[in-house]
């Protein structure tokens, strides 16, 4: 019997975000991908999760996708079997990240988009991976292919969002939270605070080897944690 996993990607990501992870999960899984990039609003993103996931879903969310998976589970608990939350603390955007986005949006509107800047890559990828084409190359190709319109829609529609941290204790489904000690977008202390508010959830923190882009940066460790969780 196979376990179906419904993957929800992050900002400016698609199914390629999981490309290094899926071969490592082995047999026993069926993979399905929520096309988050097709949505223009947060409401549409939640609708896409409902339309493209199983009636009783095992949602695997990364970053924005993890936030949305929690929000979806809170709204539709009867439709969620389990949650794997990667690189998210379920919080409102940090002030620093909000300021970054507010600075980027007008620049995007006016200029041609050629992919992520080195400054942005340094915020989301561990220093030791900045020259790894298997990681940075995938991130840049997703960014260029999905493009400016997708990035603008995702930035605009999610810059203001409710804090879920005080609500997750209501979730009764199986849950696992995976964070990284050196994640600059979902800081380790915030991820631990999410777990503290969510007694039903397991917590695993990656000590080394990953920034924010955990599925690309640490696929082997993530695969092992997921295998243990779903078996």
CATH node for 3-93+158-230: 3.40.50.1820
Confidence of residue 56 (pLDDT cuts 50, 70, 90): very high
User: What pLDDT, in 10s, does the model give residues 112-123?
Assistant: 888 888 999 999
Place of tokens 């620093």: 96
Torsion, Cα 78 83 85 88, to 10 degrees, reads 10
pLDDT at 94 over 80: no
Residue 17 has pLDDT above 90, yes or no: yes
Per-residue model confidence as pLDDT tens digits over 65-82: 999 999 999 999 999 999
Distance of CA 169 to the CA centre of its chain: 20
- The alpha carbon of residue 179 and the mean position of all alpha carbons in its chain are separated, in whole angstroms, by 11
Signed CA dihedral, 148, 154, 157, 160: sign only: negative
Assess contact for 56 and 32: CB atoms under 8 A: no
pLDDT at 46: 97
**pLDDT at 185 > cutoff 80:** yes
- Return d(Cα 26, Cα 7) in angstroms, integer: 16
Q: Which whole-number Å values give the CA distances from 12 to 41, 98, 145, 182, in the listed order? A: 14, 16, 9, 21
Whether this model's pTM surpasses 0.85:
yes
Q: How far is CA 84 from CA 34, 136, 160, 169, 174, in A?
A: 15, 24, 23, 15, 9
Amino acid 188: pLDDT: 97
Question: What's the average model confidence in pLDDT over 157-166?
Answer: 90
């Amino acid at each position: 019997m196979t376990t179906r996993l419904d993957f929800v990607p992050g900002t400016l990501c698609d199914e390629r975000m999981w490309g290094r992870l899926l071969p490592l999960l082995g047999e026993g899984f069926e993979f399905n991908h929520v096309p988050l990039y097709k949505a223009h609003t947060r409401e549409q993103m939640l609708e896409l999760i409902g339309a493209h996931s199983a009636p009783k879903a095992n949602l695997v969310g990364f970053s924005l996708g993890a936030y949305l998976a929690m929000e979806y589970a809170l709204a539709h608990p009867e439709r969620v079997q389990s949650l794997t939350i990667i690189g998210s603390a379920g919080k409102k955007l940090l002030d620093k990240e909000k300021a970054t986005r507010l600075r980027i949006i007008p620049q995007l509107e006016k200029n041609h988009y050629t992919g992520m800047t080195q400054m942005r890559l340094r915020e989301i990828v561990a220093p030791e991976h900045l020259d790894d084409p298997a990681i940075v190359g995938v991130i840049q190709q997703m960014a260029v292919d999905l493009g400016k319109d997708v990035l603008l829609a995702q930035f605009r529609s999610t810059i203001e969002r409710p804090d879920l941290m005080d609500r997750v204790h209501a979730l009764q489904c199986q849950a696992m939270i995976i964070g990284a000690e050196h994640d600059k977008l979902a800081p380790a202390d915030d991820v631990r605070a999410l777990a503290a508010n969510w007694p039903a959830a397991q917590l695993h923190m990656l000590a080394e080897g990953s920034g924010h882009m955990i599925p690309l940066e640490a696929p082997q460790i993530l695969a092992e944690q997921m295998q243990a969780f779903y078996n």
